[in-house]
Amino acid sequence: MVIPWVGLPLASLVKWAEPTGNAKYVEFVTANDPSTMPGVNSPILDWPYTEGLRMDEAMNPLSILAVGVFGELLPNQNGAPVRLVVPWKYGFKGGKSIVKIRFVEKMPQSTWMQAAASEYGFYANVNPKVPHPRWSQSSERPIGGGLFAGRIKTKMFNGYESEVGQMYAGMDLRKNF
Ligand SMILES: Nc1nc2c(c(=O)[nH]1)N[C@H]1C(S)=C(S)[C@@H](COP(=O)(O)O)O[C@H]1N2
Ligand SMILES: [Mo]
């Protein structure tokens, strides 16, 4: 789904924070408040929901800290007051309702890696050429095309290959999935 986010480049916050040269990754920890988020009462995931990016991914001008959508402030369910949007990755990299951002030396564990390391890796490079262990990733159904709109071929890096592909040059994307 193509979404008109409102926000600031994550890179501008990183520059403002002036992390030291030891910072190799950024970890995002999200709110864990059962009184407003009943879903966290479910043991399906290990809360709080946590995500991470490599430093160059965080500095890429496409990475957004979103505070709004469609010209309005973010609704709670979409991650108010601030959420991560990484357009070349897919939904599950977009931690919502972020409460803590940490610069770290070691690759952080994301919630999905904890939940199913063999299915969800750190990079979340949904790769049309590399099937998920339980399904193909070669096609997708765009949301907004209407109920009967067909599937399209999944694009490498969600269509942003020319903007971000260079960051992964030389990496085996079958291993770094
Ligand atoms: N705080 C928080 N953020 C989260 C999640 C979550 O459980 N908690 N789920 C993730 C997953 S798996 C998806 S698919 C997206 C869904 O929300 P969106 O449609 O607004 O991107 O949120 C992501 N961010
Ligand atoms: Mo998801």
96 within a domain of the structure (yes/no): yes
pLDDT at 90: 87
The SS3 call for residue 78 is helix
Instruction: Name 73's bridge partners.
Output: 68
CA of 94 to the centre of ligand 2 (A): 9
Domain count for the chain = 1
User: Is 83 touching ligand 1 by the criterion CB < 6 Å?
Assistant: no
26 within a domain of the structure (yes/no): yes
Determine the structural domain holding residue 62 and report its residue range. Answer: 5-121
Alpha carbon dihedral 167, 54, 173, 86, in 10-degree steps, equals -80
Q: Domain with 19 in it: what CATH number? A: 3.90.420.10
Per-residue three-class SS string for 138-159: CEECCCCCCCCCCCEECCHHHH
129 within a domain of the structure (yes/no): no
Q: Best mutation site among 51, 96, 101, 114 for ligand 1, i.e. most ligand atoms within 8 A of its Cβ? A: 96
Query: For residue range 128-172, what is the model confidence (pLDDT) as tens digits?
Result: 999 999 999 999 998 887 878 889 999 999 999 999 999 999 999
46 within a domain of the structure (yes/no): yes
pLDDT at 101: 98
Stretches in the chain below the pLDDT threshold 50: none
75 within a domain of the structure (yes/no): yes
Neighbours of ion ligand 2 (CB under 5 A): 92
Distance in angstroms (rounded) separating the CA atoms of residues 96 and 65: 10
pLDDT at 88: 97
Which residues, 6 or more positions from 169, have their beta carbon under 8 angstroms from its beta carbon? none
pLDDT at 26: 98
36 within a domain of the structure (yes/no): yes
Distance in angstroms (rounded) separating the CA atoms of residues 69 and 66: 8
Q: Which of 46, 47, 60, 109 has its CA nearest to residue 89?
A: 60
CA of 112 to the centre of ligand 2 (A): 9
127 within a domain of the structure (yes/no): no
pLDDT at 149: 83
138 within a domain of the structure (yes/no): no
- This prediction's pTM: 0.96
